Amino acid sequence: MKILGFDTAAKTASVAVMDETGRLLALSYLDSGFTHSETVLPMAKNLLDALHAAPSDIDLYAVNCGPGSFTGLRIGIAAVKAMAFALDKPCVGPSTLEALAWNAADWKMPVCTAMDARCGQVYFALFDCSSGEPLRLCEDRTAAAGELRPELEACAARFGKILLMGDGAKPLVDLYGDLCRPAPPNLVLGSAYGTCAAARKMYREGNTVPADALVPNYLKVAQAEREREARLAQT
Amino acid sequence: MHCYKGPVPVCHFDMYRIHTFDDLYSTGFFDYLESGAVLVIEWSENVAGFLPEGGIHIDIRNTGETDREITVEGGPF
């Protein structure tokens, strides 16, 4: 059984192939600034060619379904929907934040995944990885970077120092360095390894969907409106 | 939104119908902020408060049939 996973939810693009045992067979990662619409399909083709495999040899198609960049999510999901639909293969669409946490699950630390949601907001989730698998401690949500201290303090008191991941980690390191440490540069933005690992678990649990049921999850950033009104009132 | 490719890409956004953060998000605007392109934003007053600091504001006023008064503020100006 082979899983082909895509991560296009933020600035980096990544594609990976994993087998049913969780062994990573191939991985491609690009932080080039080029649009994902031009990069991810050639990346997938190169990986499959290197494995002497065809798209029809893939048993499960996976893509991070959000939160994340509007354009990035649509590119990844459209690509996966098209391939899975044409080949009549099952899909899974893990949370981008949970897939990111899978990249660090073997560190067995609590993991905070935070992605830049713009205007001082982050997409945020917390996971307990002490078992080697991310166990969700809260739902994915948006939050102002500056108001996470009580939640991070409670998590650190229970599980110890928190590993910070994602492109929203930097401001959180500056604000909560006493509770958190940043993941190393080769890990902080994650890769489609995490997408495949999350997908493998969803597959084992029977949570696959047909291609036409795969949809993006754009988390609303309601607080951005309120903060904007406050900013405009000051000027 | 339309992008013009070149040595310095230019992306033109028309925000005439854009009023909320979700509207702005769904234009893909945020995906272009660090792309290296110059972003030209028409009707930027509709998205004031969501734009990053350091922008250059260009005000073009019609002062006659063939006359325009152009005020440039911000950035190096």
**Summary mean pLDDT of chain A:** 95
Domain boundaries, chain A: 2-96+190-220, 105-182
Q: Do B30 and A231 touch (CB under 8 A)?
A: no
Return the closest-CA partner of residue B19 out of B52, B43, B1.
B43
Domains A2-96+190-220 and A105-182 share a fold: yes
* A2-96+190-220 placed in CATH 3.30.420.40: yes
Q: Which residue has the tokens 């509207």?
A: B23
- A-chain residues near B39 (CB < 8 A): none
Cα–Cα distance measured from residue A169 to residue A112, given in angstroms and rounded to the nearest whole number: 8
What's the mean pLDDT in A140-162?
96
Tell me the mean pLDDT in the region B59-63. 96
Q: E-strand spans in A42-120? A: 60-63, 91-92, 110-118
The answer, for B71 touching chain A at a CB cutoff of 8 Å, is no
Question: Which residues of chain B are within 8 Å of residue A69 when distances are taken between CB atoms?
Answer: 28, 30-31
Paired tokens of A7: 């991560």
Alpha carbons B73 and A15: distance in angstroms, whole number:
44
The answer to whether residue B21 neighbours chain A at the CB level (below 8 Å) is yes
Give the best residue of B8, B19, B31 to mutate against chain A (max A CB count within 10 A): B31
A134 pLDDT exceeds 80? yes
Which one of B11, B21, B45 would you mutate to disrupt binding with A, by most A Cβ within 10 Å of its Cβ?
Answer: B21
**N- to C-terminal Cα distance for chain B?**
26
Please say if the pLDDT value at position A103 is more than 90.
Answer: yes
Distance CA B8, CA A75 (A): 24
Which residue of B1, B25, B33 is the best one to mutate when testing the A interface, meaning the one whose CB has the most A CBs within 10 A?
A: B25
Residue B69 in contact with residue B61, Cβ under 8 Å? Answer: yes
Range of the domain at B28: 2-73
**Which pLDDT tens digit goes with each residue over A14-40?**
999 999 999 999 999 999 888 899 999
pLDDT in tens, A37-86: 999 999 999 999 999 999 999 999 999 999 999 999 999 999 999 999 99
Spatial distance between the Cα atoms of A94 and A15, rounded to a whole number of angstroms: 14
- Provide the domain count of chain B: 1
CATH of A105-182, one of 3.30.420.40, 3.40.50.740, 1.10.1040.10, 3.30.56.10: 3.30.420.40
Strand, helix or coil at A32? coil
* Other CB atoms within 10 Å distance of the CB of residue A59: 16
Is residue A228 pLDDT above 90, yes or no?
no
A228 vs B22, B25, B50: nearest CB: B50
Strand boundaries in chain B, DSSP class E = 2-4, 10-14, 38-42, 57-62, 68-73
Q: Cα distance from B71 to chain A (closest Cα, Å)?
A: 20
Instruction: Band the pLDDT of A230: cuts 50, 70, 90.
Output: confident
Give A-chain residues touching B27 at CB under 8 angstroms: 70
Q: Does pLDDT of A232 surpass 90?
A: no
String of DSSP letters for B42-59: ETGGGGTTTSPTTPPEEE
CATH code for position B48: 3.40.50.300
pTM for the model? 0.92
Spatial contact of A124 and A142, defined as CB atoms under 8 Å apart: yes
